[in-house]
Structure 1
Amino acid sequence: MDNFAAIKTLFEDTSRLVDVKKEGILLESTILGFESLGVFNPAAIRVGSDVHLFYRAVREGNFSTIGYCRLDGPLQIAQRNTMPILIPQHPYESQGMEDPRIVNIDGTYYLTYTAYDGANALGALATSTDLVKFHKMGIIVPEIDFKRFRDLVECGCVVNPKYFREHQDYAIRGLMRPNLRMWDKNIVFFPDRINGKLAFLHRIRPGIQIVFADEVPATLTHEFWVDYLLCFSDHIVMEPRYAHESSYIGAGCPPIATDRGWLLIYHGVEDSPDGYRYHACAALLDKENPKKELARLSRPLFSPEFEWERVGVVNNVVFPTGTALFGDRLYIYYGAADCRVAVASVNIQQLLAALSAPHASA
C-alpha cells in the first residue's frame, strides 16, 4: 500500500511492553452516495491470503449500509465495491445496518450487525456460504421494553444498577414510548462451537454477556429469553473495572482461539471531561468456559491518539471490530472517529504474554 503511514506507539502495562503499531488509515469516505459521510467499524475475515472487509458505510441522514472491500494480505487494497453488498430490507433495519462482525462456523459465515429502525438498535444476523449472497435471519436478541427487562432481571440476583440507567435516562428525558426496546448491540460469535453449542457475546450496557444456543435463531424463542433474563447475572462475562472503562464496555472483534484461551479485543468507554472516549482493550477468556475471565489488561491496548482518531463525526473513538492473523502479527481493523477505517497491529505472542503475566488482572 503506497503512502500508507506506519506509526508506532508503545503501550506499557506495568512492567511489560506491548508494542502496538498504528498502521494508519485504510479506507475513507468517497464521492459515492452510499458512503459519502463515512466508512468505519468493519467486519474482517481472512480467507487464504485475502482479508474480506464488510464495513459500515454512511450517507447523509445517518443511513447505513454495508460496503465491501477485499485486501491482498493485511493492508493492500485489491478490490472495493462501488455499491453496498447489503442494504436494509426490513422494518427492523429501516434506518440502517451498522457495525458488522463476521466469523466462519462449520463452513457457514455468520455476519452480525446492529439493525436500526430510527428508535431501536438491536443485534441481527445474516448468513452466507460464499461471502457474496447473504440470507437475513432477523433480530437475534430479546425484543423487550425497559420495564419488562427490569422486572425480569430483578427477580434474580442483584446486578449493577447501571443496567437500568438507560431506562431512567429515557424516562427523565420524556423519551419513553410504546415501541422502544432495550438496546442490545455488539453481537460477536465465537468462531467454533463450544461444547456443541453456538456461542455469542452481546452487550446490554454496561457489561458484556454471553449466549449459548443449539441453533441460531431457532433456539432463541421468547421463552428462552425470559429464562435467560431471569438468571441474567449468570450470563455476564465482563463488567467495567478500570478508569478507561468507567462508562461501559462492549465486545469488539470475534474471539480468537489460542492455546492460552480466547483472546478478546473489546472496547472500553471512558467518561472524560470532554465526553466519551473509546479505547481498544484486551482480555483472555477460558477456552472451555468463556464465561470465566482469566485476565484483562489494566490499561488500554491503544487509544485515540492522532487527529484522525480524535476528530470526526464522533470524536475520540477507536472501535475495534475485526482482526486478521498473519504469522504472529495480529492486524486489528477499527473505526476511527466514526469516519474512517484504520489498522493497528501487534505481536500476538507478546500480547498473550502480557495477559498471562502476574500483573494482569483476573
Structure 2
Amino acid sequence: MRDYQLRRLFDQPIIQTSDVKPTFAGFEVLGAFNPAACYYKGEILLLLRVAEAPPAEEGFILVPLIDEQDGELTLTIKRFPEPAEPYDPRVVTLDGKVYLTSISHLRLARSQDGVHFTIDEKPFLFPARMDESFGIEDARITFLEGKYWITYTAVSEHGPGVGLAVTTDFETVERVGMILPPPNKDVALFPQKINGKYMLLHRPMVSEIGKPSVWLAESTDGIHWGNHKFLFGGRGQATSAPSTEAFAWEGGKIGAGPEPILTDEGWLVCYHGADATHAYALALALLDTNDPSNLLDRSSIPLLTPELPWEREGFFPNVVFSNGWIQWPADSVNAGKIWVYYGAADSGVGLAELVQA
C-alpha cells in the first residue's frame, strides 16, 4: 500500500456545534459531528449527526425519545429523578432500562468549496420509527446505480442496528428500513457491484466472547444481506490499561468509516480504532479489487490522532472519527484530491487531505 498521510487542512474546526440551530424551541444542540459526505451537482454535501437535548431541570434527568401515543409516533420527554450516585451524563440506566440523554438526527450542510458550509435549519432525516426511537447516528453516503444510498445507525431500546434510506435529489428521501438488526453499526456500502453482488462492510458488536472487528457481507438486492465474513479486527489489547504496545490504538474498538474508494492498488478503506481509554484514531486498509475479502495491507500506525484542543475536549473527548470523504471530480478545481471530513470530540467537524508521502 502506498505511503499515505492524513494532513489537516485547518487547525480549527470547519463546523462547530454553535453553527447548528436546534430543531425544537428550548432544546440545546450538544454536538454536530461525524458527517457523511458526497459530491452532488457541483457541491459538497454533508449529513451531520446533530445531537440535541431538552433544557436541564435541577434534580431530574430528561430523556428525549420517540414514543407511540394514541397510535402515533411523537417526540416524548421522559422525566426521571436524578440518581444520588455518580452516573454517565450521556447514557443512563433508569428503572432497569438504558436510555440516551440526547437524541440525534441527520442534518444537511452544503458547500461550493468544501470548506464553508450552509447548514439547513431543519433535519434531513429525523427518527420516525420505533427502531429509531433513541436516535439516528453516524451516516455514510454511497452513490450507486443512480441513487445515493444512506446507511445509518438506528438506536432504540433494543440496541443499535443499521438503517437504510435512499435519495436522488437530497430533497425527498425514502426510508427502506432496518437492513442489519442490533447489535451492529459502522456500515459502508461499496460504490459498485463486485462479481454481480452488492457488498458492504459492517461491525457486529461483541460482548463476552470475541473482539470488535470489521466484517464483509453481500446481497443480490441491496436489502437482504448474507455470506458474512470476518475481514479484520483490532490487533491491540482491548481490556488493558493505557499501553505502550504497538497496536494499543486499535485494541479497544474498530470499525469501517466512509464508503471504500477504488484505486489502482485495490479498495482503499478508512477505518477507526480506539484504545482502552476510548481515544479514537484513523487508519487505512487495502482490499483486493475483485475479492474484497482478501485483505492486502493496513496501517501499522494511525494516520490521525486527537492532538488539537478541540479534538481532545468536547462532548466525548479524545476522538477523531470519519464516516465521510470525497474524491474531487476531474473537472473541479481540486481534481483528484481526497478530502476527509472527521468528527472531533463529538463536538465539531475537521477537514484533512489524504496524500501520498
**What band does the TM-score fall into relative to the shorter chain?**
0.7 to 0.9
Partner of 1:66: 106
Equivalent residue for 1:257? 262
Aligned with residue 177 of structure 2, among 131, 138, 141? 138
- CA 96–193 in structure 1, closer or farther in 2 if over 3 Å, else same: same
Maintained 8 Å contact 2:6/2:352: no
The counterpart of 1:37, out of the listed 25, 30, 33, is 30
Shift of 1:119: 4.1
Describe how 1:146-161 pairs up with structure 2 within 5 A. Answer: none
Per-residue deviation, 1:248: 2.4
Q: Tell me by how many angstroms 1:47 deviates.
A: 2.2
Q: What is the number of equivalent residue pairs in this alignment? A: 281
The structure richer in strand per residue is 2
1:25 has 2:13 as partner: yes
Listed as ranges, the matches of 1:284-295 within 5 Å are 284-295=286-297
Query: Structure 2, unaligned stretches of length 5 or more?
Result: 54-100, 206-211, 236-246, 329-334
Deviates more, 1:17-26 or 1:105-114: 17-26
Shift of the alpha carbon at 1:345?
A: 1.1
From 43, 49, 64, the equivalent of 1:50 is 43
Give, as a single letter, the amino acid of the residue that structure 2 aligns with 1:137: V
> Aligned ranges for residues 216-227 of structure 1 at < 5 Å?
216-217=222-223, 219-220=224-225
CA root-mean-square deviation: 2.0
Distance in 1, Cα, partners of 2:9 & 2:204: 30
Q: How high is the TM-score relative to the length of structure 2?
A: 0.75
Once the two structures are TM-superposed, the CA of residue 22 in structure 1 deviates from its matched residue by 4.2
Deviation readout 1:94-141 (Å, 9 max, x if unpaired): 111100000110101100000011441111100111122111111111
Identity across the alignment (%): 33
Q: Cα–Cα, structure 1 residues 288 and 32, in superposed 2: closer, same or farther, change >3 Å? A: same
**Other structure's SS at 2:7 match:** strand
Counterpart-to-counterpart distance in 2, 1:311 and 1:51: 27
For the pair 1:330 / 2:323, whether they are aligned, the reply is no
Residues 340 and 353 in structure 2, CA contact (< 8 A), matched pair in contact too: yes
Q: Is the 8 A contact 1:49 1:73 kept in 2?
A: no
1:322 is displaced (CA, Å) by: 0.6
Partner of 2:353: 345
Instruction: Tell me what 2:307 maps to.
Output: 305
SS in 2 for 1:308: helix
Partner of 1:176 in structure 2?
A: none
Do residues 200 (structure 1) and 187 (structure 2) align? no
- For the 8 Å contact 1:319–1:335, the answer to whether it is kept is yes
Partner of 2:145: 106
Query: Of Structure 1 and Structure 2, which has the larger fraction of its residues in helix?
Result: 1
Q: Give the whole-Å Cα distance in 1 for the aligned partners of 2:30 and 2:158.
A: 21
Give the secondary-structure state (helix, strand or coil) at the position aligned to 1:36: strand
